[in-house]
Structure 1
Amino acid sequence: MANGTLKILPDSQKTYCKYAYTYGGTTYSDIHTFTTGGRTSQSIAPAISTSKVSLSELNPASVSANKVIAKTNACMYEYDINQFYGFFYQGAGYPMYFNQYAYDAVPDNHPMYTTHNYWPSFCVKKDGTSAIRWFESAQDLRTALPYCKCVIAAVHPLVFNGKCVLNERVTDNEPSKSLIYDPQNPNNENLRFKITAGAPMGKRKRTLLGHLKGVSGQYIMVCTDSAMTIKVAANMMQDMNCDYAVALDGGTPSQMRIKSGYGANGKVTANPGAPLHTAVCAHLV
């Protein structure tokens, strides 16, 4: 059942669409979306720089720059120092990153497994499906990575197995079966949803990423010019038919670029954006 109403705005095309979303009596305009083709033609991958650069300069290590067709900013980072957060896996043969630091192999011990386990990992799987994981141990990570094309760090989980996590109690698939969010007790410090990160209850411009339900390897990248709460964003991603969706860094960093010929040309979001450490890139396979 729909939570809100999506209306396609002018200038929309096949891969790039601009929407207005009405939820709870409020309309949020200029929702920019880029939807990839199936996994045999297009996919997504992270791009990483240990120093901050413009979005136009960020490209995946595993993909030729001329194959990149759309980009958004990715996970949270510190503005005053070179420090970004979460786990990024670029594929076999490339460094993986734990909170800014590169590793060639999965470390046996790392704070991400425990004290930083609230950062969700958006897993792009080789079979065209997706998942959101919170890796609780090195063994969990070693078991999962052979099935992943890449892993993109996120800030908040929004949709998990088709359920909006802001609307109901949903548990993850980790061994601990931890509660992702509890609408009745949102300040519970043990939740996977980190209430103190990214101003989730405040209105901010948002960058979002999801996998479309029932469509193998099809992803939707979203940037909003309208400020909204994470709850509105989560309901919108469920209404966009995502089975899994996450929020990336919102506010000032939010920005989207699309290559000419794929529905737009250059930056499509109104926000000028900011220099970044990480990006999500849609690319030709």
Structure 2
Amino acid sequence: MGTFSTTIKEHYNNISYTDGGKTYSDVKIFKTNPATESIAAAIYQNGNKQMMENTNPSGINPSDVIAKTNGGAMEYGEHGDAFYGIAYQDGHLYISGYSTNSSDPVFDTLRINYYPSFCVKTDGTATIRWFSSRTSLQTALPYISTIIAASQPLVYTDKSVFEHTLFDQYDGGHQILNPADLNDTNYHYWDRYCNNTTNSKSNRTFLGHKPDGSFYMVCVCPARMSLPVGAKLMLDLGCDYAVNLDGSGGVKMRVASGYTNGFTSGQMTPGGTDWFGEVVCAYLK
């Protein structure tokens, strides 16, 4: 197990994490209160992007949004300039950045098998799904409050995908990752979605869920971390499910006044691109 420089509090933390003798400084962690707070996707569609400061989830009062990070990575060219994967919020479904519905024929032409969808259920629990058919998505949507499009799974059923042989529980029972080939198309994990940087050190944004109902929004910036180490970090936070969202220049966190534990509110990371297609927001329920 790795160690944290201090106990993680609710809301904003800026800590160091040590694993295998290596210390990663300036790790930004926002932890929600499971009784009063949750997360949702804020989405801009049809190739458009928006500044994080102006991005809020549909159906949620902007004044109730207390923290934000960048969402899933961007896909350039194939679907314009938009996040890839499946996202869902306030009854609206988006596939690779375009507003649609689960009956849209485009669903059958996408590489859905490799899109990890971080799903927050209506009962407050979370899971990771790979919706490999329209039917599986249609069946699940009534029980889901939000779907956040992710890049790679990190933690699945309380275990690192890099350290255990794991199989999805809902979408065909496929093995999640082939450790010998991270781009093996017979498995869910596709390293190309993070530019083949799984084992490289980069700035990262992670999202995780803890069994008590709390969520962790994590930005590793300016520290640089590989995804296997990121999975260990999320496990040490107690997550049962966790994903990698985006990395490199796209890493950014903002925290509202009153939720910073004494730090100055606003942008908490030193960099971060200005325009996003998907933003993860913590909000007051």
Q: Give the structure-1-normalised TM-score.
A: 0.91
- How many residues of Structure 1 are paired with residues of Structure 2 in the alignment? 275
Which structure 1 residue ranges, 4+ long, deviate > 4 Å from structure 2? 111-114
Q: Which residue of 2 aligns with 1:132?
A: 128
Instruction: Give the CA deviation at 1:180.
Output: 0.7
| CA distance in structure 1 between the partners assigned to 2:10 and 2:37 by the alignment | 14
Q: In the alignment, residue 199 of structure 2 is paired with which amino acid?
A: M
When residues 128 and 13 of structure 1 are mapped into structure 2, their CA distance, relative to the original with a 3 A threshold, is closer
When residues 112 and 231 of structure 1 are mapped into structure 2, their CA distance, relative to the original with a 3 A threshold, is farther
| CA distance in structure 2 between the partners assigned to 1:272 and 1:75 by the alignment | 14
When residues 137 and 155 of structure 1 are mapped into structure 2, their CA distance, relative to the original with a 3 A threshold, is same
Instruction: Give the CA deviation at 1:111.
Output: 4.4
Instruction: Give the CA deviation at 1:241.
Output: 0.4
| Equivalence map 1:209-228=2 (5 Å) | 209-213=207-211, 215-216=212-213, 218-225=214-221, 226-228=223-225
| Equivalence map 1:1-285=2 (5 Å) | 2=1, 4-8=2-6, 14-38=10-34, 40-50=35-45, 51-78=48-75, 81-92=80-91, 95-103=92-100, 105-107=101-103, 109-111=105-107, 115-198=111-194, 199-213=197-211, 215-216=212-213, 218-225=214-221, 226-263=223-260, 264=263, 265-285=265-285
Instruction: Give the CA deviation at 1:272.
Output: 3.8
Instruction: Give the CA deviation at 1:273.
Output: 2.9
**Secondary structure of the equivalent of 1:181?**
coil
Q: In the alignment, residue 282 of structure 1 is paired with which amino acid?
A: A
1:139-196 CA-to-partner distances (Å, cap 9, x unmatched) read 1111111111111110000000101001111111134211111334545332211112
| CA distance in structure 2 between the partners assigned to 1:102 and 1:187 by the alignment | 28
| CA distance in structure 1 between the partners assigned to 2:19 and 2:125 by the alignment | 28
Instruction: Kindly indicate whether the alpha-carbon contact (under 8 Å) linking 1:87 and 1:121 is maintained by their aligned counterparts in 2.
Output: yes
**Secondary structure of the equivalent of 1:227?**
strand
**Secondary structure of the equivalent of 2:277?**
strand
Q: In the alignment, residue 203 of structure 1 is paired with which amino acid?
A: K
Instruction: Kindly indicate whether the alpha-carbon contact (under 8 Å) linking 1:113 and 1:135 is maintained by their aligned counterparts in 2.
Output: no
| CA distance in structure 2 between the partners assigned to 1:151 and 1:187 by the alignment | 24
Q: Which runs of 5+ in 2 are unaligned?
A: none
Instruction: Kindly indicate whether the alpha-carbon contact (under 8 Å) linking 2:44 and 2:97 is maintained by their aligned counterparts in 1.
Output: no
**Secondary structure of the equivalent of 2:206?**
strand
Q: Give the structure-2-normalised TM-score.
A: 0.91
Q: Which runs of 5+ in 1 are unaligned?
A: none
Instruction: Give the CA deviation at 1:22.
Output: 1.2
| CA distance in structure 2 between the partners assigned to 1:248 and 1:112 by the alignment | 23
Instruction: Kindly indicate whether the alpha-carbon contact (under 8 Å) linking 2:182 and 2:190 is maintained by their aligned counterparts in 1.
Output: no
Instruction: Give the CA deviation at 1:112.
Output: 6.0
| CA distance in structure 1 between the partners assigned to 2:108 and 2:284 by the alignment | 32
When residues 118 and 125 of structure 1 are mapped into structure 2, their CA distance, relative to the original with a 3 A threshold, is same
Q: In the alignment, residue 277 of structure 2 is paired with which amino acid?
A: H
1:210-230 CA-to-partner distances (Å, cap 9, x unmatched) read 0013x03x1110001111111
Q: Percent identity?
A: 38
**Greater fraction helix:** 2
Q: In the alignment, residue 73 of structure 1 is paired with which amino acid?
A: N
1:75-124 CA-to-partner distances (Å, cap 9, x unmatched) read 111467522201011033xx210011111x31254446763320100000
What's the C-alpha RMSD, in Å, of the aligned pairs? 1.9
| CA distance in structure 1 between the partners assigned to 2:280 and 2:108 by the alignment | 21
